[in-house]
Amino acid sequence: MSAVDNPILTIDGLSVKLPKGADRSHALNGVSMAISADEIVCVVGESGSGKSVMANAIMRLLPGEVAIDGGRVLFEGKDLASASNTEMRKVRGAGIAMIFQEPMTALNPLRTIGDQIGEMFEIHTELSKTEIKARVLGLLQDVHIPDPVQAARAYPHELSGGQRQRAMIAMALALDPRLLIADEPTTALDVTTQAQILKLIKELQSRRNTAVLFITHDFGVVAEIADRVVVMQHGNVVEQGAVKDVLTNPQHPYTQQLIAAVPPLTAPPPRALSDDIILTLDNVSKTYRNGGFLGRGVRVTHAVKSVSLKLPRGATLGIVGESGSGKSTLARCIIRLIDPDGGAIVLEGKDWAKLTRDEVRRETKHIQMVFQDPFASLNPRRKAGDLVAQGPIVHGTPRAQAVAQAKELFRLVGLDPSAIDRFPHEFSGGQRQRIGLARALALKPDVLVADEAVSALDVSVQAQVLKMLHELRERLGLSIVFITHDLRVAAQICDLVAVMKDGEVVEHGLAGEVFGNPQHAYTQALLASIPGGDFARSRKPVTV
Amino acid sequence: MRILSLAGRRLAASIPTLFLILIGVFLLLQFAPGDTVDAMMAQMGGGDAATARELRKFYGLDLSIPMQLGNYLWRLIRLDLGFSSIYGKPVATVILERLPPTILLMTASLSFAFFFGLLLGVIAARGVNKWPDTLISTLGLVFYATPSFWFGLMAIVVFSIYLQWLPAGGFEDIGAVQTGFGRTIDIALHLILPTLTLGLIFLAIYLRIMRASMLEVLNLDFVRTARAKGLDETRVVVKHVLRNALLPMVTLIGLQAGTMLGGSVVVESVFSLPGLGRLAYESVVQRDLNTLLGIVFVSALLVILVNFLVDLLYARLDPRIQAEA
Amino acid sequence: MMDAVKRYFRSPAAVVGLLLLLVVIVMAITASWIYPRDPLALAGRPLIWPFSNPRFLLGTDNSGRDIAAQIFYGARISLLIGGVATVIAVVIGVLIGAFAGYYGGWVDTVLMRITEAFQTLPNFVLLLVLVAVFGSTITTVTVAVGIVSWPAPARLTRAEFMSLRSREFVQAGRTLGMKDIQLILGEILPNALPPVIVYASVVMALSILLESALAFLRLSDPNVASWGNLIGLGRDVLRVQWYVSAIPGIAILLTVLAVSLVGQGLNDALNPRLKSR
């Protein structure tokens, strides 16, 4: 364990027990670490590693039956693990402040931003109302919110995600706490917003000398912001040290595996692409109108604006963009879950944009989709085998034959064929995503549309699923439209990449060229926003 | 202003609903055995067929049903609800006379149920699964299962017959002509038992929804934020949880306005209150279909009005509503 | 499924509710064996106090009819009306809610306008209108109670359908080429049903209360022994022989309580996430 000079927070053998009936007895098993003033320590781990539990345990904000059952949390000479509630209340906000993952839900929707920040001063200081107001405006200026006066008066839903997180940070820093705990504060944000928030945290940290304990799952963020890093797995600290050492020379096998699974930004050498175009999008558009009453006050949203793209047979076309760019709407137009307003979607000579609903139903075996959410995309009341056999049965395959095929497909996507009788909740996230893939493949589609298919997965699981997609693509000659917000993932699997912004494709071309030599300013900004500096950019592509 | 226009638009949207109800009930009443003239003849102690024919012609009852419906709606637009042969007065007059006790009763019951539902719900949620919660939740279940008319009768037995604390029925003491403050007190005393009787089931519903919604809101992220700021539990509840938890309850008031008005039919009958509900009951028994249709119209109007007020209140509580406008 | 049963029996309140309900059901079934005579026929001296004459354990009412017999037969009527009206209300509600929620757009607008109309009109007033028009036999009363009770289950079903139809597994079903009816019956309905089943207990409780209120006002079928009828009858002798009204009221209270407790138990058993509260 690396020695820490002058620690302001020392965690010593901290254990946190879980309620009976949980999958393990402890969320934390004797965790020890320390953080000194003036440094940013990143705690990194996958879901279930206990990193968020640790953050909440320090603040003594653990839910219900989850409780500290051993160890100490020393902050300014006091053991927080055994402090009274009254003592804790004085520490919270004033001594240690906290920001959270989802700024929308972390702010009270019914009170103004200024009111919620001002509350910090109301409970911890004796300042007058006018002084508080002035301080709030000062804080909002500090976090570079455009028009602080307006922002103070606004309700959370009236601000953008990035502005909300800025407001959260302003609130957390109101009383100049010694320590700021940030629990995945950029995970819910777009990559360009994430870059700005990371920059802001770094700037404020160096200006105010606040120690920052930063919880994240993303090694790019670690490389971007951390001075030191603590790696956690199953409630244990497996490795900690200076960020340079851990990233370049990880000691523990788990750390090595995690770092190896992080996709680098550089694309592998290009594959030869066929001249045979299987799917052509020509000026596809989708416009939403809503809110209007008898033609007045109609709000028009151009979700997709004249998008034209070509997918060669056997190739993978990545569509990347931030939230609201229209990439998911486009995917749903291609598969006709949404009816496009205009343009042509030509698959094997047939214009899908012009098919009737009945025709789409019959033709749907040619094009299939894999969805984002491994929990929501499988009907919880059907057995896994039925889910996969369903498609062929709908299209007329006898049940017994469809079930036999389902077993085959289970083997194909790396699942145990005897698991077809289990229900979705008995599988892990990665396994469910494999079931979703098997379901799509059951109809032997020519084109597979994958909508953020690996985005909800932990990085090591993500790597496995990507590897499998690689193999299947070779084996089955699949043509894939791959929708993602994660440029690193796109770089790994896509032959061609199209970058979308506000419903338009701003740039498209071979993956290596788009990532290596971006032409459009927005693409450049996107690439520059990817956290991790050299760590993310100069690593060799993973060979799969 | 935006709030008002939003609620106003909802109000305008309920006009078709109102017509739908009236047309539906009007057509339904065509199936009823006997019409106003039959009722009138019965009232007069019988009469010959010729008189009946004359009367039907006079009231337009010999026309085709669509014509009658058209006539009815046209009169309705001019706020003419027709004539009650039983009471010998225009229906509008009869209903207006009966409206005050019902409105008083509803307001009192709603306030009682809302206030105590809120209070008990918060107390139960604060000590979830401890004895106050168990006690309050059990009481809630029992109140919910109690038939209101039966509770009213038993309350009369205890408070009026045995203890003789409160009057057993009526809106005010007719014997002693009182004015001003004395009369107010007298009416208030008469309304205590009916208010409790009508409010009981709503108290049970509100406390249950308040408890559930408190528990739900207490689990939300911003409550953790509030705790992370160093707020004590009382302040967390008062400043952050309460207003959010109130929203489902406010919605429920609007949804249940009709149920409450329906409940007053029974309660007014138990306590012989001369209100709209009792009038509805009487007009069914006496087959006074004109009055019945008038009551349908007025009670639907009342429900729409309550919903309008609830919309205003909701928009005051939740700024997100205005963004949707 | 077995998990749900186990979870149900872990809650003492749910078990008490089930036992109470079983008692009422047994009373309904055994009524004609224990009291083979017409419960509405004269049985003895009127207004005998309960527990004073072993022949009439719960006493007699103002016309000398056995109260205990009426309680047993009343259980039949309450369960019958409650059960049938609930089935009517839930079937109408699920049909309307499913169509409105699944198709949205103008189908939803039209169906919801109708639902709103039913909710705007006080349900008891509508019940009075229906009874005034169609008379008060036990069949018409049951159907009328069902008809005034469907809007709430319809709204619930609609809300479930609206949230489920945009879920990814339903979209997945659509991309597999399923027809609307396959999606509605096979994918959405099984997931939407548990909350509706739980809500059915609320509908049943309210139906029993509605019918008893109607009977109390002497607008229900006078030719059957119903608890509400007996309370209405007892009102005439409330001053002294209050027990005539009190006893059937307790029977209603316990039955509705049993139904509510079973509903709550089902809710906790079918939605395990909420159970920890």
3-state secondary structure chain B: CHHHHHHHHHHHHHHHHHHHHHHHHHHHHHCCCCCHHHHHHHHHCCCCHHHHHHHHHHCCCCCCHHHHHHHHHHHHHCCCCCEECCCCEEHHHHHHHHHHHHHHHHHHHHHHHHHHHHHHHHHHHHCCCCHHHHHHHHHHHHHHHCCHHHHHHHHHHHHHHHCCCCCCCCCCCCCCCCCHHHHHHHHHHHHHHHHHHHHHHHHHHHHHHHHHHHHHHHCCHHHHHHHHCCCCHHHHHHHHHHHHHHHHHHHHHHHHHHHHHHHHHHHHHHCCCCCHHHHHHHHHHCCCHHHHHHHHHHHHHHHHHHHHHHHHHHHHHCCHHHHHC
Look at A2-11, A167-176, A382-391, C4-13 and tell me which has the smallest mean pLDDT.
Answer: A2-11
pLDDT of residue B325: 46
Q: Tell me the β-bridge partners of A311.
A: A279
* CA distance, residue B182 to nearest chain C CA (Å): 28
pLDDT of residue C273: 55
Chain A: residue whose CA lies nearest to B245: A110
Inform me whether the pLDDT recorded for C276 exceeds 50.
Answer: no
Interface contact C172-A380, CB threshold 8 A:
no
pLDDT of residue B49: 78
Q: Which of A334, A382, A390 to mutate to probe the C interface, most C CBs <10 Å?
A: A390
Would you state the structure tokens that stand for residue A507, as one six-digit string?
Answer: 């740039």
Contact list in B for residue A100 (CB cut-off 8 A) is 221, 224-225
- Is the CB of residue A224 less than 8 Å from the CB of residue A243? no
Contact list in A for residue C171 (CB cut-off 8 A) is 332, 337, 369, 371
Chain C: residue whose CA lies nearest to B260: C122
Interface contact B154-C245, CB threshold 8 A:
yes
Partner C contacted by A447 (CB < 8 A): no
**Secondary structure of C199-264 in the HEC alphabet?**
HHHHHHHHHHHHHHHHHHCCCCCCCCCCHHHHHHHHHHHCCCCCHHHHHHHHHHHHHHHHHHHHHH
Alpha-carbon span A491 to A469, nearest angstrom: 14
Interface contact A381-C190, CB threshold 8 A:
yes
* CA distance, residue A287 to nearest chain B CA (Å): 19
Smallest Cβ–Cβ distance between B154 and the set C212, C213, C246 belongs to: C246
Chain C: residue whose CA lies nearest to B150: C249
Alpha-carbon span A131 to A127, nearest angstrom: 6
Helical (H) or strand (E) element with A195: helix A191-208
How much of chain B exceeds pLDDT 90, in percent? 43
Inform me whether the pLDDT recorded for A259 exceeds 60.
Answer: yes
More confident residue, A532 or C179: C179
Alpha-carbon span A98 to A9, nearest angstrom: 14
For A4-75, list the strands marked E by DSSP: 7-17, 26-36, 40-44, 67-75
Smallest Cβ–Cβ distance between C177 and the set A362, A373, A379 belongs to: A362
Inform me whether the pLDDT recorded for C101 exceeds 90.
Answer: yes
Place of tokens 């009828």: C229
pLDDT of residue A348: 85
Alpha-carbon span A227 to A210, nearest angstrom: 13
Smallest Cβ–Cβ distance between A364 and the set C168, C175, C190 belongs to: C175
Alpha-carbon span A2 to B150, nearest angstrom: 76
- Is the CB of residue C203 less than 8 Å from the CB of residue C152? yes
- Is the CB of residue B4 less than 8 Å from the CB of residue B313? no
What is the radius of gyration, based on Cα positions, of chain B?
Answer: 24
Model confidence at B175, pLDDT cuts 50, 70, 90, reads low
Contact list in A for residue C168 (CB cut-off 8 A) is 371-373, 376-377
Q: Is C135 exposed, middle or buried (0-12, 13-18, 19+ CB in 10 A)?
A: middle
pLDDT of residue B177: 65
Q: Encode pLDDT of C139-160 as tens digits.
A: 999 999 999 999 999 999 999 9
| Residue range C184-190: mean pLDDT, rounded | 91
* CA distance, residue C239 to nearest chain B CA (Å): 7
Smallest Cβ–Cβ distance between C175 and the set A362, A368, A372 belongs to: A368
Would you state the structure tokens that stand for residue B290, as one six-digit string?
Answer: 């004109």
Interface contact C217-B266, CB threshold 8 A:
yes
* CA distance, residue C167 to nearest chain A CA (Å): 6
Place of tokens 């997609």: A469
Place of tokens 């919910």: B144
Q: Checking DSSP bridges between strand A350-351 and strand A96-99, what pairing results, if any?
A: unpaired
Interface confidence (ipTM) of the complex: 0.88
Place of tokens 């309620």: A19
Smallest Cβ–Cβ distance between C125 and the set B16, B151, B265 belongs to: B265
* CA distance, residue C13 to nearest chain B CA (Å): 10
* CA distance, residue B232 to nearest chain A CA (Å): 7
Count of A-C CB contacts under 8 Å? 57
Inform me whether the pLDDT recorded for B180 exceeds 90.
Answer: no
Look at A72-76, A450-454, A537-541, C184-188 and tell me which has the smallest mean pLDDT.
Answer: A537-541
Interface contact B141-C257, CB threshold 8 A:
yes
How much of chain A exceeds pLDDT 90, in percent? 59
Q: Encode pLDDT of A434-460 as tens digits.
A: 999 999 999 999 999 999 888 888 888
Smallest Cβ–Cβ distance between A100 and the set B221, B319, B320 belongs to: B221
Chain A: residue whose CA lies nearest to B243: A110
pLDDT of residue A291: 57
Give partners of A (≥3 CB pairs < 8 A): B, C
Q: Encode pLDDT of A330-342 as tens digits.
A: 999 999 998 999 8
Model confidence at C48, pLDDT cuts 50, 70, 90, reads confident
Contact list in B for residue C235 (CB cut-off 8 A) is 153
- Is the CB of residue C63 less than 8 Å from the CB of residue C241? no
Q: Encode pLDDT of A40-98 as tens digits.
A: 999 999 888 889 999 999 999 988 788 898 899 999 888 999 999 999 999 999 999 99
Alpha-carbon span A43 to A9, nearest angstrom: 14
- Is the CB of residue B281 less than 8 Å from the CB of residue B272? no
Partner C contacted by A503 (CB < 8 A): no
What does residue A38 show for φ and ψ, rounded to 5 degrees? 75, 25
pLDDT of residue C40: 79
| Residue range B245-268: mean pLDDT, rounded | 90
Alpha-carbon span B84 to B183, nearest angstrom: 30
Smallest Cβ–Cβ distance between C176 and the set A373, A380, A443 belongs to: A443
Interface contact A61-B228, CB threshold 8 A:
yes
Write down the mean pLDDT value for chain A.
Answer: 89
Helical (H) or strand (E) element with A464: helix A459-476
Inform me whether the pLDDT recorded for A1 exceeds 50.
Answer: no
Q: Encode pLDDT of B258-276 as tens digits.
A: 889 999 999 999 998 999 9
Contact list in C for residue B161 (CB cut-off 8 A) is 238-239, 242
What does residue A367 show for φ and ψ, rounded to 5 degrees? -140, 125
Partner C contacted by A394 (CB < 8 A): yes
Interface contact C174-A439, CB threshold 8 A:
no
**How many CB atoms are closer than 10 A to CB A138?**
12
Contact list in A for residue B13 (CB cut-off 8 A) is none
Inform me whether the pLDDT recorded for B324 exceeds 80.
Answer: no
- Least Cα distance to A106 among B8, B228, C118, C224 occurs for B228
Q: Is A38 left (phi over 0), alpha (psi -120 to 50) or beta?
A: left
Smallest Cβ–Cβ distance between B147 and the set C114, C213, C235 belongs to: C213
Interface contact B145-C256, CB threshold 8 A:
yes
Would you state the structure tokens that stand for residue B65, as one six-digit string?
Answer: 């049903």
- Going across the sheet that includes A40-44, the strands are A96-99, A179-183, A211-216, A40-44, A228-233, A236-242
Model confidence at C1, pLDDT cuts 50, 70, 90, reads low
Inform me whether the pLDDT recorded for A544 exceeds 50.
Answer: no
Q: Which of A91, A108, A158 to mutate to probe the B interface, most B CBs <10 Å?
A: A108
Chain A: residue whose CA lies nearest to B318: A110
**How many CB atoms are closer than 10 A to CB A342?**
13
Interface contact C257-B153, CB threshold 8 A:
no
Alpha-carbon span A79 to A89, nearest angstrom: 14
Q: Checking DSSP bridges between strand A504-510 and strand A496-501, what pairing results, if any?
A: antiparallel
Alpha-carbon span B33 to B41, nearest angstrom: 14
How far is C-alpha C42 from the geometric centre of its chain's CA atoms? 30
Q: Encode pLDDT of A96-122 as tens digits.
A: 999 998 888 999 999 999 999 999 999
Smallest Cβ–Cβ distance between C257 and the set B142, B151, B156 belongs to: B142
Smallest Cβ–Cβ distance between C168 and the set A360, A376, A381 belongs to: A376
Look at B17-21, B176-180, B280-284, C185-189 and tell me which has the smallest mean pLDDT.
Answer: B176-180
Inform me whether the pLDDT recorded for A543 exceeds 50.
Answer: no
How far is C-alpha A91 from the geometric centre of its chain's CA atoms? 31
| Residue range C29-49: mean pLDDT, rounded | 81
pLDDT of residue A541: 52
More confident residue, A266 or B98: B98
